[in-house]
Structure formats: structure tokens, C-alpha cells
Structure 1
């Protein structure tokens, strides 16, 4: 959810970061995320972790984790308070249900729309896809991961699990992060995207 919010910051800071030391990453997404986390103005890392930060640990890019999903819109769903890691709640609604094939099996995930975030400039079409999978607590963050999406014109949408990232509270407990609804559990190992963060 945060990555869109710092896109403007990235454009201005990426060149500065690269002029000092090259930003690590095999894909554009990985390089952008590493640049964000390296920059003190946009990083969720604690100062002590950022000072020794070389780059996030990612699963190797795997095109089999890029899937086309069918989006069934649910226009009459009510807003509800999604719990977070703090006492704050995040007003969300189920925008639709995504159905897709992954590793030969069919899966569904709810995709959410945030009441507050869609009021922000440039984010009217933002969708929030949080999910849990069988790597959580082992290779990936125990609380699940997030993917940023945009509302498509039609009824299909690309989900790239290689762009799955950790909530900010995986790095720093001061952040308030939406808790992934249990209904968005995938019963397989999604070995794509950001891995668990090894704190110093």
C-alpha cells in the first residue's frame, strides 16, 4: 500500500542513491524497493538497520507467479473496519473477488479498496491485495504480504506475486499495518516477492 505513496519521492531520490552506490535488485521492482528502503526520507527501517542495509532479500523472479485473474466486482459491499497491528482500524470494502490458476490449482482472493486512500491524489483506482501463504513464518514474513493493484478497465487483472512486499511493521513496530484477513490464505508456498527481513 505504501509503495504508490512514495513513487514521487523515488523519482527524485533514485538518481541520488545510484550515484553513491548501485542499487541492488534483479528487476525494476526490486531496485525501486531497495532504493526506497535505503533512503532515510522514505525507509521504514530503523536507523540502525538502515545504516547497514545493502538490499532486501527476494525470492528469485519466477514468471509462473505472474497470473491473469478474473475480477468479479462486488459493488454493493459495505465498508468495514479492517484490524491492524495497532488499535487503529482501516476502513475497507471488498472491491471484488479474484479467481486465478497457480501451479495447476484454482484459487480465489478478495481484493480490497481503502476508504481513505482512494481520496488521495492519483490513488482513486488503487486496490489492496493482502495474502497469506505457506511460506509465512519460514521464508517470508509471518503476518503475510501485500500486493498493489489498480482497477482494470475490463474484468481481468494481472497479479504479479514477484511484487509481493512486506508490511512496514515487519521492519519497525511503530507502524500500523492492516492484518491480512484469514479468507485470503493461499494453501501453497508462494516463493516469489520479498522474503522475511533478518533484523540486526
Structure 2
């Protein structure tokens, strides 16, 4: 019996470590893809000397404590709403649902949105959008907040991996892009030290 329990323990540790490794690899793939996008002249928001100087994004160290299983609640009978953008205009979104989770023993809720325009494109039909502010903004990350991309899900749990948080295009190029402004209710009073960090050399204001 002791030998069986030991084998079960070793097996569970192997599965856990394998899962942790897979999550870390997934995050590193996200980072590599984001860097590739910004180095591609056809996709990058960077212009001029900023594009020429770009090598890679600065990231916080991968921290799986910021890969959070949040309680998801779908918003019933949601109507389109207008979210202000950095250009002074608005873009239509639907409040798709909410994600509730704990950080440092405190509960927080963030709203998840779906773009009315993007959902009409087949490649974005399952795309969801989570903009957020946190206490790193204006210090270690872009002052206007950061974004998370999510997929439509089933069930009552959504994974929020803040290691995949990125900054809007208009953080790097305010002239060519109009980005949704993070709604005030999506503000976290804690520092989320995960995802893309601020690097002034790549920013045009």
C-alpha cells in the first residue's frame, strides 16, 4: 500500500509539473509571436526609428500565479454599448460577461467584451476582449492600461493569463491607431506584474 501511495504521489507530481511546463511554453510562444508581429513590416504598429530599433518586447518574468481560473458569468440580454477610444470616437461592443477572481486574498471582477464589428469576421467570431488597468500603469506598464484576448467559452470558468497581457497599438503609435479606452470599472487596485512591460524607446506620444 505504501508503495502504491508513493507511485500515485510521484505520478501526480509528474502530471502537475508537466502541466506547469506546458503553460510556461504556451506563454513563451505568445511572447515570441508578439515579437515576430512587431518585427514584421506588414503587421507592426511601429514606424520609422522605432521600428528600426525594435528587437523584442520587455516582459515581466513568467509567473504562473498570474494564470488565474476566474469564475465566469455570462451577461444576459446584453445590449450594444459604446466604448470611448483614444481618438475621441467610440466603438460598439457588447458586455459578454464578467470574470471574478482573487488576488492576494481580495476578490475582483472584470468585464469581458465582444466587438460588434470584429464578430462579423469569421476569424474573430469567437474573440473576446478584456481591457484592464492595474497599479503598474504609468510606471512599469503603459499608462493607458493593457489588454487580454480571450475565446468564447462554455461553462462557468475562464482562464485569465495575465502573462499574455499586451499594450494597445496606440501606445506605440498614437497617430495611426485608435484604441479602446479601458472602462473605469475594469481597474484593479493591485500591481499585475505579468505580461508586456513599458519601454519608452518604442513609444510615440
| TM-score, normalised relative to structure 2 | 0.82
Count of paired positions: 175
Q: Secondary structure at the match of 1:112?
A: strand
Give the aligned partner of residue 84 of structure 1: 85
Give the aligned partner of residue 21 of structure 1: none
Which structure has greater helix proportion? 2
Native 8 Å contact 1:141 1:195 kept in 2? yes
- Equivalent residues in 2 for 1:48-127, closer than 5 Å: 48-127=49-128
Give the aligned partner of residue 191 of structure 2: 189
Determine the C-alpha separation between the residues in 2 that align with 1:193 and 1:108: 19
Q: Secondary structure at the match of 1:29?
A: helix
Determine the C-alpha separation between the residues in 2 that align with 1:34 and 1:49: 14
1:32 equivalent in alignment to 2:36: no
Deviation for aligned residue 1:155 = 1.3
Q: Secondary structure at the match of 1:27?
A: helix
Native 8 Å contact 1:64 1:102 kept in 2? no
Determine the C-alpha separation between the residues in 1 that align with 2:110 and 2:136: 17
CA RMSD of aligned residues (A): 1.2
Deviation for aligned residue 1:70 = 1.0
Give the aligned partner of residue 177 of structure 1: 179
Determine the C-alpha separation between the residues in 1 that align with 2:122 and 2:97: 22
Determine the C-alpha separation between the residues in 2 that align with 1:179 and 1:48: 26
Runs of 4+ displaced beyond 6 Å: none
Q: Secondary structure at the match of 1:162?
A: helix
Native 8 Å contact 1:170 1:197 kept in 2? no
Native 8 Å contact 1:66 1:160 kept in 2? yes
Q: Secondary structure at the match of 1:28?
A: helix
Deviation string, structure 1 residues 138-162 (Cα, Å, up to 9, x no partner): 0000000000001111111100000
Determine the C-alpha separation between the residues in 1 that align with 2:147 and 2:131: 4
| TM-score, normalised relative to structure 1 | 0.84
Deviation for aligned residue 1:87 = 3.2
Q: Secondary structure at the match of 1:175?
A: coil
Give the aligned partner of residue 42 of structure 1: 43
